């Protein structure tokens, strides 16, 4: 039993020792010596031998344990340094990624801001260009208006002043006096019409013109307009009216529609000294009323067919007028829901066509 206990202590101590051949051999000798002493019965000396073995094993155990702990501490220090290095590297990559993401966001935000400012600049530039174009157009229209009006008003005023002064002559016979009255009356009406055109274009321009829309029969209106102009025309051309409908009732402003018809017919008489001028009325395939004024005059050049509906546009400078008549017609027709154009297929003179809805349902005409 004693041997087993001693052997256990020794083996326990030796199990932690490094496997050095010399140290193992020395311990074996101590062990054999103690065994021999035990066999001889020299227990006290054997116990001392076992004690030495135990002390030696304890010393070696402590040394080995300290070495192993130190090795473990060194290994832990290395692992900790590697972990810290990896952590620092991870933080460095995170920092680089964060900086790149920030720079990318800053670049993207800058591009978005620059694009927005560029769009604002383009919009401002376009608005400036539009305002400049409108201002130039306004100046041009003003110059044309003053030029046309100064010429158009001066002629009838000179006639009124000259023939009024002539009427004061005592030696003037009744026939000449009547002719002077007719000239004065004609030029007075011309002045009134010029002023009316200016007022109309101003009212339509600021949308203050009021429309009195109602149901009206327009076939009779066309006949009356043709009959009236036939009595006062200053041309040898024949003015007539053609239609295939006996009656046609539409929702319109009767006075404004009559104004359009008179303007178109009077405009045709200025350029048709002989031949014919025809006002026609029909219901087209779209179910709208279609009016047309066709003449056998000099016609309208293709390059001027769209421009003639502009303000102060005149086909011939030598013909009397303000250049506002067709512009007024277009504005009124558009306000009534229709449209006007020049028939390019007609080559026997000029043919102006405008459409008018039969009803104003769903539309507000003011």
Task: Using a cut of 0.85, tell me whether the model's pTM lies above it.
Answer: no
**Structure-block tokens of residue 241:** 């009216």
Examine the domain organization and report whether 321 and 228 are in the same domain.
yes
Note the pLDDT tens digit of each residue in 277-327: 999 999 999 899 999 999 998 888 877 777 677 665 555 554 555 556 787
Examine the domain organization and report whether 300 and 167 are in the same domain.
no
Is 78 within the bounds of a domain? no
Examine the domain organization and report whether 166 and 245 are in the same domain.
no
Examine the domain organization and report whether 299 and 228 are in the same domain.
yes
Which CATH number belongs to the domain containing residue 274 in this structure? Answer: 3.30.565.10
Is 273 within the bounds of a domain? yes
- Identify the band that residue 134 occupies on the pLDDT scale cut at 50, 70 and 90: confident
| Residue 207 clears pLDDT 70, i.e. is over it | no
Note the pLDDT tens digit of each residue in 331-355: 889 889 999 999 988 988 999 999 9
Examine the domain organization and report whether 218 and 352 are in the same domain.
yes
Is 254 within the bounds of a domain? yes
Is 22 within the bounds of a domain? no
Examine the domain organization and report whether 194 and 290 are in the same domain.
no
List the one residue out of 21, 35, 327, 80 whose CA is nearest residue 203: 327
**Structure-block tokens of residue 24:** 């193992």
216 strand-pairing partners: 250
Tell me the residue range of the domain where 167 lies: 131-204
Is 177 within the bounds of a domain? yes
- Among candidate residues 183, 204, 225, the one where a domain is terminated: 204
Instruction: State phi, psi for 216 to the nearest 5 degrees.
Output: -140, 145
Instruction: Give 276's contacts (C-beta < 8 A, 6+ positions apart).
Output: 237, 238, 239, 240, 295, 296
List the one residue out of 250, 272, 270, 273 whose CA is nearest residue 326: 270
Considering its fold, how many domains does the chain have in total?
A: 2
Examine the domain organization and report whether 199 and 224 are in the same domain.
no
- Among candidate residues 204, 232, 251, the one where a domain is terminated: 204
Q: Is there a contact between 273 and 236 (Cβ–Cβ < 8 Å)?
A: yes
Examine the domain organization and report whether 172 and 254 are in the same domain.
no
Is 1 within the bounds of a domain? no
Examine the domain organization and report whether 233 and 350 are in the same domain.
yes
Examine the domain organization and report whether 193 and 322 are in the same domain.
no
Is 194 within the bounds of a domain? yes
Per-residue confidence (pLDDT) for residue 299, from 0 to 100: 82
Which CATH number belongs to the domain containing residue 188 in this structure? Answer: 1.10.287.130
**Structure-block tokens of residue 208:** 């203050």
Is 20 within the bounds of a domain? no
Examine the domain organization and report whether 200 and 281 are in the same domain.
no
Examine the domain organization and report whether 260 and 172 are in the same domain.
no
Distances from the Cα of 241 to the Cαs of 75, 116, 174, 205, 324, in angstroms? 117, 61, 38, 32, 25
Q: What is the mean pLDDT of residues 218-222?
A: 94
Rounded Cα distance, 162 and 340, in Å:
40
| Residue 106 clears pLDDT 50, i.e. is over it | yes
| Residue 16 clears pLDDT 50, i.e. is over it | no
- Among candidate residues 168, 187, 204, the one where a domain is terminated: 204
Instruction: Give 325's contacts (C-beta < 8 A, 6+ positions apart).
Output: 197, 263, 266, 267
């Amino acid at each position: 039993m004693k041997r087993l206990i001693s052997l256990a202590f020794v083996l326990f101590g030796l199990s932690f020792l490094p496997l050095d051949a010399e140290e193992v051999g020395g311990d074996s000798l101590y062990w054999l010596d103690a065994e021999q002493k035990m066999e001889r019965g020299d227990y006290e000396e054997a116990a001392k031998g076992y004690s030495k073995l135990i002390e030696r094993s304890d010393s070696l155990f402590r040394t080995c344990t300290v070495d192993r702990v130190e090795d473990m501490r060194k290994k832990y220090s290395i692992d900790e340094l590697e972990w810290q290095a990896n952590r620092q590297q991870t933080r460095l990559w995170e920092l680089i990624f964060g900086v790149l993401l920030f720079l990318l966001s800053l670049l993207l935000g800058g591009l978005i801001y620059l694009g927005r400012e560029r769009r604002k600049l383009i919009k401002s530039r376009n608005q400036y260009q539009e305002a400049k174009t409108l201002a130039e157009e306004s100046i041009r229209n003003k110059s044309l208006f003053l030029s046309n009006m100064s010429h158009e008003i001066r002629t009838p005023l000179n006639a009124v002043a000259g023939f009024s002064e002539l009427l004061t002559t005592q030696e003037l016979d009744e026939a000449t006096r009547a002719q002077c009255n007719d000239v004065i009356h004609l030029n007075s009406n011309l002045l009134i019409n010029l002023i009316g055109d200016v007022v109309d274009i101003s009212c339509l321009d600021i949308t203050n013109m009021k429309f009195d829309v109602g149901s009206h029969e327009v076939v009779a209106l066309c006949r009356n307009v043709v009959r009236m102009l036939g009595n006062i025309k200053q041309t040898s051309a024949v003015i007539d009216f053609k239609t295939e409908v006996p009656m046609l009732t539409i929702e319109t402003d009767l006075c404004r529609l009559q104004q359009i018809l008179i303007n178109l017919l009077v405009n045709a008489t200025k350029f048709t000294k002989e031949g014919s001028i025809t006002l026609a009325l029909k219901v087209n395939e779209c179910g709208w009323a279609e009016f047309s004024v066709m003449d056998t005059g000099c016609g309208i050049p293709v390059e001027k067919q769209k421009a003639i509906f502009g303000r102060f546009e005149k086909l011939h400078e030598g013909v009397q007028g303000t250049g506002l008549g067709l512009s007024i017609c277009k504005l009124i027709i558009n306000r009534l829901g229709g449209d006007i154009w020049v028939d390019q297929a007609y080559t026997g003179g000029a043919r102006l066509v405008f459409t008018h809805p039969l009803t104003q349902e769903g539309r507000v005409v003011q």
